């Protein structure tokens, strides 16, 4: 039976040191004539190298555990510092989640170091995890250091981000109340502290970054708490960008909510009755009216657009005329939807009168188009015909569509402008066909208008889109050459659009074949 296991410090055994191993050779007990055990004789997989167990095969030898008393094992504090250094490195590489993991390991080893918590708060702040930031900062102030300046900063910042009231924070951390009150600053927008101004500036940068990166989810969170001392322009930029994001998605109620919040801020914070304030309010009321119109709240839209008109007129500057024209045009669109055509035409005419005071321009073209459509729908085709012609003349006068887009702030991009141009040309051509003139004359005029439109599209490098005009030309004239040209130009379209266009060409071909 094997001898009993013996634990020994190994002090009586001859050993020589080696890196990471306590012994390179160990004398066998009880037999001075047998060779010393070598490291190759150690069969102990899985054990750390600082603790070597030596198994002696013969039953008469005990197991000897070498002492680790003289080993230089890193202390828990040293390991914690190493985790902190690694966390710092991860933070600077913007690997925030990994940094948080490493700071947490440091805290597990030594939970009495405030820096570990404040560093973790910094990393969580980068991810906008404000509750975690608050928890770490609150722990430092409550348990470790009541005046730790970084913890004070983070507990205040997190509280503001989460809209926690100052009084609640002061009662939670009474021993840190003085430092917190100083960091929090005044709640008076008229007299913000320097710290509040610095924070507000940082907030404005975050608004801009969210817009540039297209992070509307982040922008919405940022706008939930506007800090004291913020520039009104930053607030306006943020709410307007978020509202237009929703409007582009046809989420009119959400867009309306954004503009109403902006209006509340402006009415509270901007100096009353100044021209600049009135101009800001006019723009916001106008945007509110647009959202209400699309949301089906037509009477509300008319009311708010009238408020917009009132503010714009009271602002009273010539440079605001284009804004005033836009408001009148929006009012006209609401009246059209309400079926009040006489009122609609009056509003649209007022808009065009203002917008074209210095001539027809790309900025005035959409307003002229709105009036042309209202006149046509009211049966005043002659006046409508002239306005359609003026709109097309403005757009066709540009040799490059890119240049036209730059001069057309109300049209978001080239694709939309090209579509609007094609639609307008087609509407103008159809207006000719609805007249009481001789059939051959009005048909010739309609073809002439659309041929000119096709020529403009080719000049703009958008000939592939010309099929939208060529097909009605083929139908009106019964001339197959337009059909053949349409079949040719659609080859330049993207695959998905090409399939749709090909179906349309096939349909018109079948119609013309049957008619023949």
Structure tokens given for 462: 């958008």
Contact 303, 309 (CB under 8 A): no
Lowest mean pLDDT among 148-157, 243-252, 264-273: 264-273
Contact 133, 153 (CB under 8 A): no
Contact 30, 61 (CB under 8 A): yes
**What are the tens digits of pLDDT across the range 56-102?**
333 443 443 434 444 456 788 899 999 999 999 998 888 899 999 99
Range from 163-172, 216-225, 481-490 that averages highest in pLDDT: 481-490
Domain boundaries, the chain: 1-72, 76-184, 270-355
DSSP 8-state code for residue 241: H
- Whether the per-residue pLDDT at 334 is higher than 60: the answer is yes
pLDDT for 253: 96
Q: What is the mean pLDDT of the chain?
A: 84
For the domain bounded by 76-184, which CATH number is listed? 1.25.40.10
Rounded Cα gap, residues 20 and 14, in angstroms: 17
Rounded Cα gap, residues 227 and 152, in angstroms: 17
- Whether the per-residue pLDDT at 228 is higher than 90: the answer is no
pLDDT for 186: 65
**What are the tens digits of pLDDT across the range 260-280?**
999 999 988 888 778 888 889
Residues 6+ apart with CB under 8 A from 384: 372, 373, 375, 376, 431
* Residue that has been written with the tokens 């096709």 in this structure: 454
Q: Residue 28: pLDDT band by 50, 70, 90 thresholds?
A: very low
* Cα–Cα–Cα angle for 106, 110, 114, rounded to 5 degrees: 85
pLDDT for 493: 92
**C-alpha distances in Å from residue 273, one per residue of 260, 316, 318, 449, 488:** 19, 12, 18, 50, 61
For the domain bounded by 270-355, which CATH number is listed? 1.25.40.10
- State the CB neighbour count (10 A cutoff) for residue 450: 26
Beta bridge partners of 64: 54
Q: What is the mean pLDDT of residues 466-480?
A: 94
Of residues 221 and 198, the one with the higher pLDDT is 221
């Amino acid at each position: 039976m094997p001898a009993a296991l013996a634990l020994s410090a190994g002090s009586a055994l001859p050993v020589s040191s080696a890196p990471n191993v306590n012994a390179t050779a160990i004398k066998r007990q009880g037999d001075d004539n047998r060779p010393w055990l070598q490291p190759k004789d150690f069969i102990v997989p899985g054990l750390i190298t600082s603790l070597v167990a030596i198994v002696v095969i013969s039953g008469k030898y005990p197991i000897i555990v070498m002492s680790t008393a003289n080993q230089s094992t890193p202390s828990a504090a040293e390991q914690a510092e190493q985790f902190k250094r690694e966390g710092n490195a991860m933070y600077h590489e913007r690997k925030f989640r990994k940094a948080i993991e490493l700071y947490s390991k440091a805290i597990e080893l030594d939970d009495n170091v405030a820096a570990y918590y404040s560093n973790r708060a910094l990393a969580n702040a980068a991810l906008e995890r404000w509750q975690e930031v608050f928890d770490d900062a609150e722990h430092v102030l409550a348990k470790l250091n009541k005046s730790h300046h970084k913890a004070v900063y983070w507990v205040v910042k997190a509280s503001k981000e989460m809209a926690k009231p100052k009084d609640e924070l002061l009662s939670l951390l009474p021993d840190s109340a003085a430092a917190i009150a100083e960091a929090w600053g005044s709640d008076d927008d008229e007299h913000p502290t320097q710290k509040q101004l610095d924070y507000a500036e940082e907030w404005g940068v975050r608004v801009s970054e969210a817009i540039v990166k297209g992070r509307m989810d982040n922008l919405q969170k940022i706008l939930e708490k506007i800090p004291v001392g913020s520039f009104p322009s930053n607030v306006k930029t943020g709410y307007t960008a978020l509202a237009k994001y929703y409007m582009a998605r046809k989420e009119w109620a959400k867009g309306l909510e954004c503009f109403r919040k902006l209006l509340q801020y402006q009415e509270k914070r901007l100096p009353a009755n100044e021209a600049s304030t009135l101009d800001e309010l006019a723009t916001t009321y106008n945007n509110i009216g647009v959202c209400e119109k699309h949301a089906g709240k037509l009477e509300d839209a008319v009311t708010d657009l009238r408020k917009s008109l009132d503010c714009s007129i009271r602002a009273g500057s010539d440079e605001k005329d284009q804004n005033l024209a836009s408001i009148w045009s929006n009012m006209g669109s609401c009246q059209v939807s309400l079926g009040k055509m006489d009122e609609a035409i009056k509003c649209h005419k007022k808009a065009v009168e203002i917008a074209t005071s210095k001539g027809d321009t790309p900025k005035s073209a959409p307003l002229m188009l709105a009036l042309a459509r209202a006149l046509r729908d009211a049966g005043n085709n002659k006046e409508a015909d002239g306005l359609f012609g003026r709109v097309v003349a403005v757009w066709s006068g540009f040799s490059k569509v890119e240049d036209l887009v730059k001069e057309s702030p109300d049209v978001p991009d080239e694709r939309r402008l090209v579509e609007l141009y094609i639609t307008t040309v087609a509407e103008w051509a159809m207006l000719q066909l609805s007249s009481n003139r001789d059939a051959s004359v009005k048909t010739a005029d309609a073809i002439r208008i659309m041929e000119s439109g096709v020529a403009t599209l080719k000049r703009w490098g958008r000939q592939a889109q010309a099929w939208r005009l060529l097909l009605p030309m083929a139908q009106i004239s019964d001339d197959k050459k337009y059909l053949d040209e349409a079949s040719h130009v659609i080859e330049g379209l993207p695959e998905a659009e090409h399939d749709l266009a090909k179906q349309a060409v096939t349909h018109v071909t079948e119609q013309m074949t049957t008619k023949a």
